[in-house]
Chain A
């Protein structure tokens, strides 16, 4: 019981420290003092004596990127938390359910057709929704198999199909303009995020988040077998559709601005559940803070450890793969 408030405070502190670090490090280092004096002058409206470069780096370059990392990390973690509870399965995530693949196909199609950011988001959302719907419909009709295994394998199969559709679009794409954009985007990146991207994605993420927060108690009951949840008074069909739509919206909004960054939605809900238990109302906020911190940490590493930027998807996979294997092989059967 007492570990819970500590978990929230500690993760918020880590997120804050990471944000300060992320503002400071990079090709143009900024000191902690400079960060805070700029912040103070912006809050009070007074003048500051800092070089113009510092203000540009903090507000124009690193600010949007840090915000994007926070928004994307929190959204992917929230979606993963919802999917895991809803599919009664701690191993599912937006990647495994095909949501990321479907959203990616939608977004790649938008790039291929030279559509704008709003259309890219719309197609990413539609693609994600169709993919997860397909995986769930096919997976739950495969009777006589372990339902968990059926769902995961269906996700893998549908994911492969989506992957070949993406490959086809890459093959057909204009190799000078579209192909680099598609490749770059498939690897995931927060490097070229603009405030305009952020202002397109944030409302969608919020629109997905608010119903989830409101329905926080009932979402717990989706972890029960259907009959039981219904006998306890929940219209599981309607609730499940609503939560899938919200989680998919959040994933698609994130994917549309950052490209595909895997593993966050699998890793983070787990880590959060270890700290505060499975109750959705407590789990969701913590998972979002941890997702934001994780994404921010990864992105900061990506732009500082090597002379060129490393795609964040590469780093999350390096961390995520051993974690997933450990989970599959050694973790206890219940979470």
Chain B
């Protein structure tokens, strides 16, 4: 689905990261962990083709990313940004319909099929009741779900989600992680970033640890998320505790 080879990324005149290589299979979930300013968002923007790669290559379903038009990229990759309301009171349904833009011509407006796909995305995320509500008047969790629905309306093969659980309450965080697993089981690949390593244990097949723009480790969460790697990423002491029913959880220590 997605193949990244020795990618260097950053802004014109400023390098943020380099030498990142990985591949993502269909239906695979990868979680990117790293401190603030570690380059997660810049990496994602580069993978979406919003920033030009400084070196290395990105392939989307075997085709070089930089050879694809914006419209072609949008038909393959859905982007879920960090939630925000925007200035205008578009309804939730209108916001989701915007996900269909890449599927019709520049002079066209959404047609019946686009409404059907959007309504399906709304139903998938349990938002039918909110369809006519202005996006500016729903809760943060609902807005995040609407942005995921918008990305689903793109009918993507890959979802890129930038901290989808940030600023959500505990229940909504769990619900988002459930959605991610369910999307993966329907064959969609997911790349998401988070500040909570437990989310990688819960929802990801693999984790990418990004420190100062370099991939520290890539692998199954239980292999790469360890006390020593977490200390290198975040500079704090953490125990990774195995749980009775299988799985692991991270427990930070407050002792200096």
Report yes or no: A217 in contact with B75, Cβ–Cβ below 8 A.
no
**Which residues of the other chain, B, contact A334 by a CB distance below 8 angstroms?**
85-89, 134, 136-137
A335 vs B134: C-alpha distance when bound (angstroms): 9
Report yes or no: A231 in contact with B48, Cβ–Cβ below 8 A.
yes
**Which residues of the other chain, A, contact B108 by a CB distance below 8 angstroms?**
217
Report yes or no: A233 in contact with B75, Cβ–Cβ below 8 A.
yes
Interface core residue of A88, A273, A279, A281 (most chain B CB under 10 Å): A279
Q: Which of B77-114 contact A (CB under 8 A)?
A: 77-79, 81, 84-91, 94, 98-99, 101-102, 106-110
A225 within 8 A of B: yes
A88 vs B90: C-alpha distance when bound (angstroms): 12
**Which residues of the other chain, B, contact A277 by a CB distance below 8 angstroms?**
89-91, 94, 134
* Chain B interface category by residue count: 35 or more
Report yes or no: A232 in contact with B99, Cβ–Cβ below 8 A.
yes
Given that A228-B81, A233-B75 are contacting pairs, would A88 and B86 also be in contact in the complex, using a CB cutoff of 8 Å?
yes
Which among B74, B84, B87 is the interface contact of A231 at CB below 8 angstroms? B74
Given that A88-B86, A233-B101 are contacting pairs, would A215 and B106 also be in contact in the complex, using a CB cutoff of 8 Å?
yes
**Which residues of the other chain, B, contact A233 by a CB distance below 8 angstroms?**
70-71, 73-75, 101-102, 154
Which among B85, B110, B132, B150 is the interface contact of A217 at CB below 8 angstroms? B110
Contacts A223-B90, A228-B81 known; list 8 others, CB within 8 Å. Answer: A223-B88, A224-B98, A227-B79, A227-B81, A228-B79, A232-B99, A233-B154, A334-B137
1/0 per residue A1-22: CB within 8 Å of B?
1000000000000000000000
Q: Which of B181-207 contact A (CB under 8 A)?
A: none
Given that A277-B91, A279-B94 are contacting pairs, would A217 and B101 also be in contact in the complex, using a CB cutoff of 8 Å?
yes
Q: Which of A52-92 contact B (CB under 8 A)?
A: 85, 88-90
A281 vs B109: C-alpha distance when bound (angstroms): 9
A333 vs B73: C-alpha distance when bound (angstroms): 33
Given that A217-B108, A217-B110, A227-B45 are contacting pairs, would A232 and B102 also be in contact in the complex, using a CB cutoff of 8 Å?
yes
A10 vs B94: C-alpha distance when bound (angstroms): 25
A204 within 8 A of B: no
CB distance from A154 to the nearest CB of B (A): 18
Report yes or no: A88 in contact with B87, Cβ–Cβ below 8 A.
yes
* Chain B residues in the interface with A (C-beta under 8 A): 45, 48, 50, 69-71, 73-75, 77-79, 81, 84-91, 94, 98-99, 101-102, 106-110, 132, 134, 136-137, 150, 154
Report yes or no: B74 in contact with A335, Cβ–Cβ below 8 A.
no
Report yes or no: A221 in contact with B98, Cβ–Cβ below 8 A.
yes
A163 within 8 A of B: no
Which among A216, A224, A234, A278 is the interface contact of B89 at CB below 8 angstroms? A278
**Which residues of the other chain, B, contact A90 by a CB distance below 8 angstroms?**
87-88
**Which residues of the other chain, B, contact A170 by a CB distance below 8 angstroms?**
none
A232 vs B98: C-alpha distance when bound (angstroms): 7
Q: Which of A203-255 contact B (CB under 8 A)?
A: 214-218, 220-221, 223-225, 227-228, 230-235
Given that A1-B132, A227-B81, A228-B81 are contacting pairs, would A217 and B87 also be in contact in the complex, using a CB cutoff of 8 Å?
no
**Which residues of the other chain, A, contact B74 by a CB distance below 8 angstroms?**
231-233
Report yes or no: B94 in contact with A223, Cβ–Cβ below 8 A.
no
Closest to A1 in B: B132
Report yes or no: B87 in contact with A234, Cβ–Cβ below 8 A.
no
Interface core residue of A216, A235, A277 (most chain B CB under 10 Å): A277
A168 vs B20: C-alpha distance when bound (angstroms): 59
CB distance from B229 to the nearest CB of A (A): 30
**Which residues of the other chain, A, contact B48 by a CB distance below 8 angstroms?**
227, 231
A141 vs B126: C-alpha distance when bound (angstroms): 41
Report yes or no: B109 in contact with A217, Cβ–Cβ below 8 A.
yes
Report yes or no: B101 in contact with A218, Cβ–Cβ below 8 A.
yes
A225 vs B81: C-alpha distance when bound (angstroms): 10
A234 vs B50: C-alpha distance when bound (angstroms): 11
CB distance from A155 to the nearest CB of B (A): 17
Which among A218, A231, A278 is the interface contact of B90 at CB below 8 angstroms? A278
A299 vs B69: C-alpha distance when bound (angstroms): 49
Given that A215-B107, A217-B109, A334-B134 are contacting pairs, would A232 and B154 also be in contact in the complex, using a CB cutoff of 8 Å?
yes
Which among A215, A231, A335 is the interface contact of B79 at CB below 8 angstroms? A231
**Which residues of the other chain, A, contact B45 by a CB distance below 8 angstroms?**
227
Given that A216-B109, A230-B50, A232-B99 are contacting pairs, would A224 and B86 also be in contact in the complex, using a CB cutoff of 8 Å?
yes
Report yes or no: B109 in contact with A223, Cβ–Cβ below 8 A.
no
**Which residues of the other chain, B, contact A215 by a CB distance below 8 angstroms?**
106-107
**Which residues of the other chain, A, contact B101 by a CB distance below 8 angstroms?**
217-218, 221, 232-234
**Which residues of the other chain, B, contact A214 by a CB distance below 8 angstroms?**
106-107
**Which residues of the other chain, B, contact A220 by a CB distance below 8 angstroms?**
90, 94, 98
CB distance from B245 to the nearest CB of A (A): 38
1/0 per residue A80-119: CB within 8 Å of B?
0000010011100000000000000000000000000000
CB distance from B102 to the nearest CB of A (A): 3
Closest to B94 in A: A279
**Which residues of the other chain, A, contact B85 by a CB distance below 8 angstroms?**
334
CB distance from A247 to the nearest CB of B (A): 17
A205 vs B101: C-alpha distance when bound (angstroms): 27
